[in-house]
Amino acid sequence: MEMLDRYLQAVRRHLPWLRQDDIIAELRANLEAQLEDKEAELGRKLTNAEMEVWLKQLGSPIQVAARYQPQQYLIGPALFPIYRFVLRLALGWCAVIFCIAKTVEIVSKGQGIDALAGVIFQLPWILFINAAVVTLIFAILQRSGAQIPEKFAQGAAMGNDWPHAPAAARDVWADGQKKPKSYAQAVAEVIFGWILLVWMLLVPHYPYLLMGPGVIILKVAPYQLAPVWWTFYWCIVVIAAVELAWRIIDLLQERWQEPHTAQHLVKSLLGLIPLLVVLAAPGRVLTVLKNPADNAHAAALAQINHWLYRGFEIVAAIVVLQLLWTVGQISVEAYRKRLAAAR
Amino acid sequence: MTLAENLFENLRLELRRGCLTLAVLAQLKEEHYGYTLRKALASRGMEIDENTLYPLLRRLEAQGLLTSEWREEDKRNKRFYRLSTDGQEIFARLLKEWNDINTAITNLL
């Protein structure tokens, strides 16, 4: 019995601590009954060697205890296909963006073969970090899903189980309305929203991420962007962050398939803010001379500012028209629903 | 173990996994504690390793398919399991599913 006690103590160490007393008591009762049967068959007590063989047959304490743990996945079967899809996309785009950015850097700085070799060695690490980040995000999603399994099961099924979508949902599509967003799409939007935000935050430090080889023109040109562009930039960043936060909240609250009329309207309105910021630039000046005393380029600067400003006026007009169109659509839809409810 | 044997073993385990639950539920129409349940199943040709059976009982109980109580028997405290009301209903549905699969497979062979 002493050997069995030690075996059970070893199992206990690897059990979930809240349930270990209960599990050990039950395991002890079962194993002792089994041992009694063995001894009754033999007509004697088991020798230490026989006891050792029997306990070995039962399995190592870690293995025995592991069976009592809830099934644990880093990324479970429901989420894995989406994970694989997003990982492929993220790795592919990461490799493309990295290669383009590095090529531009090498060409613009006139670096040689050493820099190219450095890129080749860097790429696997970049991809590895990218894969680790995507995996971490999905592991968090899996973990939060495991804590609310009934909601998670519904969510995961929506992505994978489309042929069995409720008839009501199919009817909506058949009516020509927009197909509801799948779980995979919603997750991909969050991940790409996050990548976009990081990219935007990196642009001021690495302008070639935005302009590619065109960054050389910025360096040699006698003009530079006016300070209003910083306000414009931060407006865009805040809007991207708000949109990402919305998407994450929708995902966590399982509302990614619900129509977000108000959200859509607010997004359109927010989109106007950076345009208004540019249009309100003092003196309609969007670019300035690097050297204010450079009279040779003053005339060209005035032309650039004029056409840039005119361009922004046109864009703002298009956005306002789009906004009015959206408000009109929402109003018509609300009116239609009110009529339908009245009948 | 060769690749083919390994594949067969995996498929066999997969096939058995669902059957084990059905067998346990079937046997627990009568009350049993872990070891006697294992013996009862073995005596009817369904051998189950203790490391599979005992955790399975706890999972089925956590899922509400079994109820259990600690009771003294032969001067030893034991945990006795039996089918719960929900377990009886699920078992009946699983049994029908099992019979349908059996019929379908028989028809295919």
ipTM of the complex: 0.83
- Could you say which of A13, A32, A66 is where a domain stops? A66
Answer for the pair A125, A225: CB distance below 8 angstroms, yes or no: no
- CB-count exposure of residue A273 (10 Å: 0-12, 13-18, 19+): middle
The answer on pLDDT for A307 being more than 70 is yes
| pLDDT value for A218 | 73
| pLDDT value for A259 | 65
Determine whether the interchain pair B50/A58 forms a contact, defined as Cβ–Cβ distance below 8 Å.
yes
Q: Which residues have C-beta within 8 Å of that of residue A61, sequence separation ≥ 6?
A: A7, A10, A11, A13, A14
Tell me: the pLDDT tens digits for A32-67? 999 999 899 888 888 889 999 999 998 889 888 988
Q: Is residue B11 part of a domain?
A: no
Task: Say how far apart CA A330 and CA B83 lie, in whole Å.
Answer: 55
Is A258 in the same domain as A151? no
Answer for the pair A90, A134: CB distance below 8 angstroms, yes or no: yes
Q: Is residue A170 part of a domain?
A: no
Tell me: the pLDDT tens digits for A155-194? 454 444 434 444 443 443 444 445 567 778 888 888 888 8
Is A102 in the same domain as A204? yes
pTM of the model: 0.48
- B:55-94 residues touching chain A, CB 8 A cutoff: 55, 58, 70, 76-79
Tell me how far CA of residue A321 lies from CA of A243, A264, A269, A277, B98, in angstroms. Answer: 22, 15, 12, 18, 62
Is A338 in the same domain as A227? yes
User: Which chain A residues are Cβ-neighbours of B55 within 8 angstroms?
Assistant: 67-68
A206: number of CA atoms within 13 Å, CB side? Answer: 14
A32 to chain B, closest Cα gap in Å? 9
Number of domains making up chain A:
3
A242: number of CA atoms within 13 Å, CB side? Answer: 14
What secondary structure letter does DSSP report for A283? G
Determine whether the interchain pair B35/A67 forms a contact, defined as Cβ–Cβ distance below 8 Å.
no
Question: Average pLDDT for residues A251-280, to the nearest whole number?
Answer: 81
Question: Can you give the CATH number for the domain in which B85 is found?
Answer: 1.10.10.10
Which domain covers residue B69, as residue numbers?
A: 18-108
Number of domains making up chain B:
1
Is A101 in the same domain as A115? yes
Q: Which residues have C-beta within 8 Å of that of residue B13, sequence separation ≥ 6?
A: none
Determine whether the interchain pair B33/A30 forms a contact, defined as Cβ–Cβ distance below 8 Å.
yes
What secondary structure letter does DSSP report for B77? E
Query: Mean pLDDT in chain B?
Result: 91
- A:56-95 residues touching chain B, CB 8 A cutoff: 58-59, 63-64, 67-68
Question: Average pLDDT for residues A118-147, to the nearest whole number?
Answer: 85
Q: Which residues have C-beta within 8 Å of that of residue A223, sequence separation ≥ 6?
A: A287, A288, A289, A290, A297, A301, A304
